[in-house]
């Protein structure tokens, strides 16, 4: 017997608004094995594992709004295929039929369970193929012009969910299938998203840097640490991380001769996206004679992340700036591997309104394979970009290279900007390299919050 039904868990994963139209299904994300295999059926043999769950056929009950297909154990179901790799035709008790056609599933040499095993009580798919489901399936109905829309965009236990099949229009055989839990009143594409904004300005008042503007909104908060001549501003994201569709905006302005350090309370986390990218925008301005250090903690990228990030730096003549941006691909201590993701990263530096530096990076697709390439990451899992603008910084290149000996680093200088790219196997090694580089430009320690 089967323990439940949730076709969307297998085919869609976290996709939103995907439609099955004219007997075909496309545009689905790749399904990872750990997403598909959250729950198993009772039948387990050898290397076979049963996906969570199986098919979309069940008893059908008439209602005033159309039909309801329940996620209960299917009674009276007939499986009309028994050979590995064959089409799986399902017939419910009242005669409604669905056919699910596996395609491009060739046996794996030397691997047990190299195909599909279909039977009346089990439909078991090897772990190798469970990761290919989203790319290798067509779904079709015996009705022409059959249309299905699936919700949600995230996994929901089928025990608390229901399938509702309703007619889309009259005079045609177009239907819509909504997947939503009974305790929700709206469709599940309306996800709750986090939005936050910081807008802070500081100015020099009688030799002391003072706040002149402070605005915080949404999930972003900021606190000032220390009362010396160089205060530290600590940004905090109280949402606990950034997911797809979230929007984060920060702006920091330093007046003439003001000094400040901007950092973050903790490493930022970019979680797996359900489709939309997360947007992070940071704008920094330093007037003449100002000294700004932009030293946020690392950004940790989770598998399946999608991040669109921009950093705009606008400096007046005579301003001093030091900045670091660090990326960590997965939680290394937990052995996580970032297989797929999308990163759009842009850094623009202007002096007196003139663009003097642009660094644009786009990484997408198979992140893990890309990082392993000798010309990209060489198996590194942590990367950082450090840039410094200030009088005499370009002359410090020999000292900088000497202090970075033993680290994987590239150093260059152009137009008054010193740029450093760092690679490391872990965050501890990266921080040692960052500290060595910062000390060259007069910073002896990391921000206090980094050490807590």
Domain match, 386 and 432 both: yes
Q: Which of 312, 378, 372, 387 is nearest to 345 (CA)?
A: 312
CA distance 371 to 341: 12
Do 410 and 264 belong to one domain? Answer: yes
Cβ-based neighbours of 74, under 8 Å, separated by 6 or more: 2, 5, 55, 57, 58, 59, 92
Q: Which three-class secondary structure string do you get for 384-423? A: EEEEEECCCCHHHHHHHHHHCCCCEEEEEEECCEEEEEEE
- Residue 79's CB is within 10 A of a number of other CB atoms, namely 17
- Both structure tokens of 422: 């760092």
Answer yes or no: do 133 and 211 share one domain: no
Tens digit of each residue's pLDDT (9 = 90 or more) over 231-254: 899 999 998 899 988 999 999 999
- Residue 116 pLDDT > 80: no
Taking CA atoms, 104 is separated from 110, 136, 184, 295, in Å, by 18, 6, 38, 49
Does residue 143 carry a pLDDT above 50? no
Check if the beta carbon of residue 216 is closer than 8 Å to that of residue 222. yes
Across 53-61, average pLDDT: 25
Instruction: Give the mean model confidence (pLDDT) for residues 159-170.
Output: 32
The answer on pLDDT for 63 being more than 60 is no
User: Of 140, 157, 180, which residue is a domain's last?
Assistant: 180
> Is residue 2 assigned to a domain?
no
* Cβ-Cβ contacts under 8 Å for 232 (sequence gap 6 or more): 224, 225, 226, 260, 261, 262, 263, 447, 448, 449
pLDDT of the residue at 19: 26
pLDDT band at 275 (very low <50, low <70, confident <90, very high): confident
Mean pLDDT of all residues belonging to the chain: 64
Report the C-alpha gap between 120 and 54 in whole angstroms.
12
Q: Indicate the pLDDT class of residue 191, thresholds 50, 70 and 90.
A: low
Bridge-based pairing state of the strands 123-126 and 116-118: antiparallel
Asked if residue 207 and residue 172 are part of one domain, the reply reads no
Q: What pLDDT was estimated at residue 363?
A: 85
Instruction: Please tell me whether residues 95 and 213 are part of one structural domain.
Output: no
Q: What is the dihedral of CA 411, 412, 417, 422, to 10 degrees?
A: -30
pLDDT over 90 (residue 386):
yes
Q: 410 or 176, which is more confident?
A: 410
**Contacts for 452 with CB less than 8 Å, ≥ 6 apart:** none
Same domain, 277 and 401: yes
SS3 state at 435: helix
Q: What confidence tier does 228 reach under pLDDT thresholds 50, 70, 90?
A: low
Q: Which pLDDT score, from 0 to 100, does residue 420 have? A: 93
Count of CB atoms situated within 10 Å of the CB of 59: 17
**Rounded-to-integer distance, Cα 269 and Cα 305, Å:** 10
Query: Residue 381 has what pLDDT?
Result: 86
Q: Are residues 319 and 437 in the same domain?
A: yes
- 150 has a pLDDT exceeding 60: no
- 445 assigned to some structural domain: yes
Could you give the number of structural domains in the chain?
Answer: 2
Mean pLDDT, residues 349-360:
90
- Domain for residue 407, yes or no? yes
Residue 256 covered by a domain: yes
pLDDT of 365: 78
The pLDDT of residue 334 is: 81
pTM exceeding the 0.85 threshold for the entire prediction = no
| Any domain includes 187 | no
Query: Does 189 fall in a domain?
Result: no
More confident: 315 or 139 = 315
What is the mean predicted confidence (pLDDT) over 408-436? 90
> What number is the average pLDDT over the span 242-269?
93
Of 63 and 407, the structure prediction assigns the larger pLDDT to 407
Pair (167, 270) in one structural domain: no
| Domain membership flag for residue 1 | no
> Do 228 and 171 share a structural domain?
no
Q: CA-to-CA distance for 402 and 386, rounded, in angstroms?
A: 16
Q: In what helix (H) or strand (E) does residue 358 lie, and over which residues does it extend?
A: strand 354-366
Residues 104 and 250 occupy one common structural domain: no
Q: What percent of the chain has pLDDT over 90?
A: 31
pLDDT of res. 72: 25
Alpha helix (H) residue ranges in 307-450: 367-371, 397-403, 427-440
CB contact at 8 A, 321 and 286? yes
* Among 147, 180, 213, residue at a domain's last position: 180
The pLDDT assigned to 24 comes to 21
Confidence category of residue 57, pLDDT binned at 50, 70, 90: very low
Instruction: State how far the Cα of 416 lies from the Cα of 319, in Å rounded to an integer.
Output: 12
Q: Considering only 155-159, 174-178, 283-287, 387-391, which range has the smallest mean pLDDT?
A: 155-159
- pLDDT over 60 at 110, yes or no: no
- Nearest-10 Cα torsion for 133, 135, 138, 139: 50
Judge if 256 and 206 occupy the same domain. yes
Q: Which residue did the predictor score with more confidence, 298 or 171?
A: 298
Q: Where are the beta strands (DSSP E) in 59-194?
A: 60-63, 66-69, 78-79, 88-91, 97-102, 116-118, 123-126, 137-141, 148-149, 162-167, 175-180
**Tally of residues, the chain:** 452
Q: Is the dihedral angle over the CA atoms 163, 10, 307, 201 positive or is it negative?
A: positive
| Per-residue pLDDT at 9 exceeds 60 | no
Average pLDDT over residues 245-265: 93
**pLDDT higher at 405 or 370:** 405
- The residue among 115, 145, 180 that closes a domain is 180
Of all residues in the chain, the percent with pLDDT exceeding 70 is 57
Residue 190 lies in a domain: no
Residues 109 and 153 in one domain: yes
Quickly state the pLDDT bin for 54 (edges 50, 70, 90). very low
Among 76-90, 188-202, 293-307, 309-323, the minimum mean pLDDT is found in 76-90
Q: What angle do CA 102, 1, 46 make, to 5 degrees?
A: 65
- What domain range is 385 assigned to? 195-451
Whether the upstream peptide bond of residue 309 has omega within 30° of 0, thus cis, is no
Given pLDDT bands bounded at 50, 70 and 90, which one contains residue 145? very low
Average pLDDT over residues 67-74: 26
State pLDDT tens for residues 325-335.
999 988 877 87
């Amino acid at each position: 017997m089967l323990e439940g039904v949730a076709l969307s868990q297998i085919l869609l994963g976290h996709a939103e608004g995907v439609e099955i139209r004219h007997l075909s299904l496309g545009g689905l994300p790749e399904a990872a094995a750990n997403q598909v295999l959250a729950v198993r059926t009772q039948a387990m043999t050898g290397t076979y594992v049963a996906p969570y769950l199986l098919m979309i056929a069940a008893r059908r009950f008439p209602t005033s709004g159309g039909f309801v297909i329940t996620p209960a154990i299917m009674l009276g179901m007939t499986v009309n295929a028994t050979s590995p790799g064959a089409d799986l035709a399902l017939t419910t008790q009242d005669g409604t039929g669905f056919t699910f056609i596996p395609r491009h599933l060739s046996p794996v040499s030397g691997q047990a369970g190299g195909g599909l095993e279909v039977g009346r009580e089990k439909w078991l798919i090897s772990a190798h193929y469970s990761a290919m489901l989203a790319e290798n399936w067509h779904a079709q109905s015996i009705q022409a012009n059959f249309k299905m829309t699936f919700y949600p965009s995230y996994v929901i236990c089928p025990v608390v969910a229901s399938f509702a099949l309703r007619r889309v229009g009259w005079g045609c055989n177009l239907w819509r299938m909504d997947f939503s839990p009974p305790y929700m009143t709206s469709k599940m594409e309306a996800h709750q998203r986090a939005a936050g904004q910081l807008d802070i300005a500081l100015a020099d008042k009688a030799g002391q840097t003072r706040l002149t503007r402070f605005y915080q909104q949404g999930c972003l908060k900021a606190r000032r640490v220390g009362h010396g001549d160089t205060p530290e501003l600590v940004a905090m994201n109280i949402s606990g991380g950034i997911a797809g569709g979230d929007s984060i905006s920060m702006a920091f302005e330093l007046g003439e001769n003001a000094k400040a350090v901007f950092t973050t309370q903790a490493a930022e986390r970019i979680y797996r996206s359900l489709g939309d990218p997360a947007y992070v925008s940071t704008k920094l301005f330093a007037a003449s004679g100002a000294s700004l250090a932009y030293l946020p903690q690392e950004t940790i990228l989770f598998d399946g992340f999608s991040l669109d990030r921009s950093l705009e730096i606008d400096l007046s003549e005579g301003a001093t700036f030091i900045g670091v941006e660090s990326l960590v691909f997965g939680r290394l201590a937990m052995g996580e591997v970032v297989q797929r993701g999308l990163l759009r990263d842009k850094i623009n530096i202007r002096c007196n309104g003139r663009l003097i530096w642009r660094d644009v990076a786009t990484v997408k697709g198979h992140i893990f394979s890309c990082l392993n390439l000798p010309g990209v990451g060489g198996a590194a899992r942590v990367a950082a970009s450090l840039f410094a603008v200030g009088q005499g910084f370009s002359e410090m290149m020999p000292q900088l290279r000497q202090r970075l000996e033993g680290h994987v680093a590239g150093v260059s200088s152009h137009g008054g900007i010193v740029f450093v790219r760092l690679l490391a196997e872990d965050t501890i090694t990266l921080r040692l390299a960052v500290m060595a580089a910062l000390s060259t430009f007069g910073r002896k320690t990391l921000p206090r919050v980094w050490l807590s």
